[in-house]
Structure 1
Amino acid sequence: MNDLSALSQLRLVAIPRLATGGRWRVEAMRSLSEPLLLWFTKGQGRITIAGSTRGYTANNAVFIPPGVMHGFEVGPQVFGTAVFFGRDCDVTLPRDVHHLRIKETFVQQELNVILDAVGREMDSDTPAHDRATRHYLGLLGVWLERQIARQQEDAPKADATKRLVARYTALLERDFRSGMRVADFAAALGVTPTHLSRCCRQTCGKPASALLHDRLTFEARKLLKETRKPVGQIADELGFTSAAYFTRAFQHQTGLSPTAFRRAE
């Protein structure tokens, strides 16, 4: 892969800016096609990853691989940096989700220095700035690897409930456009809908149906705001049996009809 092509996809974004256009852009369930690192430097909230909800505070680093469903709260006191690595990033990065609580000040500063250097080189036009950016990204990958190794020794293993919900969210992310219901997902996982919803409530405080509706609603909002596709086409793409059914479901979730939501600033 061409170095410049890969680096052109790299973005560093202040976490509060992610909610520009509505907090639904970060709080609703979704997945990305690229790796994501969230580095929270101030504030606190809750983050849901693969159907499990946990709290985050300042000096927490959360790595989310491509295709993993997630959403998190962004209150007015939350600050930090989101690193979007791009689809073609070939830096060595973790393959699994990791939530790192960084307590040592010098380790926090290591990450801050690396991120500052990445941003500075990205904005530079000095010779070899692209190579410098790649080297700093490599150091970021090393930092993650070392902190993961340090914290994995004490990390509890996921129990059966969390494993089931993680499998559900992975399947949901793959097939949420298919029109499948919770009962269909449960059958595919070999459990009853009641058991699946009970497990989801235990891990994230929501039933399985809420995760499904949240994911569909996020995608609907995104399509309504970012494309000119007719409402009927969006309904069809998201697996709804009719535009009218889609409109009722969307209005129930958001309080607005699809057309009103599209027109709203």
Structure 2
Amino acid sequence: MSFIRSLTEHRASARCLTLAQLAPRGAWQLSLLHDRAQHLLIWTTKGQGRVTVEGVRRGVSVHNALFIPAGTLFAYEIGAQGFGLALEVPTSLPLAYPGEPHHLRLRDNMAQAEITGILEAMQREQSRGQSLMAEAQAAHAALASVWLRRQIDGPAGRARRVTAAEAMVQDYCRRVAAGFRSDRLPGDYAEDLGVPMAELDRACRDVAGRSAAEILTERVLHEARTMLARPGITASDAAERLGFASPSYFERYLDHHGGRTPRAPRRAATGS
């Protein structure tokens, strides 16, 4: 049995989506900090915006490739005129994608054409709905993996120096991604990191443009909205799963934050 055909034994398949398809319920699905169960390769082809990956915020523009491993806290914000494609790869597919995030600014025309061609071929495959589609999509996802690793090894993948503040915020964001369903507050994470809460908060504001409490709140709010959009999930169910003391407090929390990016600390706490 061929390697590519063996990939189709896995129930989940890779697929290519537009940015709009990646956030069908609204821009908040990308603009609020969250993590996903699949690897994402986002290829921006039009417009400018900002991306925050593990708490480090940077600008994003045309011909930027973003690789976000599954479970990585991130937010992607782009203007109304922005456009891009995203490759969604289930972790169950045994493909050699990197274990860490990458932000590549590509200047090589050949590299730009290659990834555009791979993603557009996936779109055509999906629109036709022909037999053996899962096998074809696995082949395209494998090619995208090769393309990505080649770019990381090339000039576009030269690693930049990570500052001490960035390293602290990255560590904090990893802990938030793993533990946001608990009743832990930013002060608890600061204690785990062995730093004063004021130092963590200052680093978060400088690196992520958000306070430590706002980072945690965004992740909780994204999950709450996602849960409540699912059929059969009540506010009481979501409150329990997210570690809120009561459904009534959970509903006040949602009312307070509404449809905007949250600014208040979680659990009505100061974050200390």
- Alignment partner of 1:161 out of 165, 181, 184: 165
Q: Which runs of 5+ in 1 are unaligned?
A: 257-265
1:262 corresponds in structure 2 to none
Cα separation, 1, equivalents of 2:31 and 2:53: 11
Distance 1:153 1:72 in 2: 20
Q: Compare the two structures and name the one with the higher helix fraction.
A: 1
Which one-letter code corresponds to 2:209 in the other structure?
A: G
Specify the alignment match of 1:263 in structure 2: none
1:116 to 112, 120, 133: 120
Instruction: Return closer, same or farther for 1:229/1:39 CA change in 2, 3 Å cut-off.
Output: same
1:129 and 1:241, CA in 2 relative to 1: closer, same or farther beyond 3 A?
closer
Go from structure 1 to structure 2 and tell me whether the alpha carbon gap of 1:222 and 1:131 turns closer, same or farther (over 3 Å shift).
closer
Contact 1:47–1:55 under 8 Å retained in 2: yes
- State the shift of 1:232 in Å: 2.1
- Asked if residue 254 in structure 1 is aligned to residue 258 in structure 2, the reply is yes
> 1:26 aligns to what?
30
Residue 95 of structure 1 deviates from its aligned partner by: 1.1
**1:26-51 residue CA offsets vs partner (Å, 9 max, x unmatched):** 11111111111000000110111101
* 1:38 pairs with one of 23, 42, 55: 42
- 1:228 and 2:232 correspond: yes
Give the aligned partner of residue 243 of structure 2.
239
1:244: Cα distance to partner?
2.2
* Whole-angstrom CA distance in 2 between matches of 1:6 and 1:142: 20
Equivalent residue of 1:178, what SS? Answer: coil
- Do the aligned residues in 2 keep the contact of 1:29 with 1:71 (CA within 8 Å)? yes
1:238 shift after superposition? 0.8
Partner Cα distance (2:74, 2:157) in 1:
25
Aligned 8 A contact 2:181 2:243 in 1: yes
Contact 2:46/2:84 (CA < 8 Å) preserved in 1? yes
Query: Is the contact made by 1:100 and 1:151 (CA closer than 8 Å) also made in structure 2?
Result: no
Specify which of 202, 205, 212 is matched with residue 209 of structure 2: 205
Contact 2:46–2:61, Cα closer than 8 Å, also in 1? yes
Matches within 5 A, 1:5-84: 5-6=9-10, 8-84=12-88
Matched with 1:149 is 153
Moved more, 92-101 or 148-157: 148-157
Give 2:137's aligned residue: 133
Mark the runs of 5 or more structure 2 residues left unpaired by the alignment. 261-272
- Supply the distance in 2 between the matched residues of 1:93 and 1:108 (Cα, whole angstroms): 19
State the secondary structure of the residue aligned to 1:46.
strand
Question: CA 1:126 to 1:15, structure 2 compared with 1: closer, same or farther past 3 Å?
Answer: closer
Q: What is the CA–CA distance in structure 1 between the aligned matches of 2:135 and 2:13, rounded to whole Å?
A: 15
- Give me the whole-angstrom Cα distance separating, in 1, the residues matched to 2:35 and 2:57: 15
CA distance 1:133–1:241, change in 2 (3 Å): closer
1:260 alignment counterpart: none
- The CA distance in 2 between the partners of 1:27 and 1:99, in whole Å, is 17
Q: With the length of structure 1 as denominator, give the TM-score of the two structures.
A: 0.89
Q: CA deviation at 1:4?
A: 2.3
* Count of aligned pairs between the two proteins: 256
How many angstroms does 1:110 deviate by? 1.1
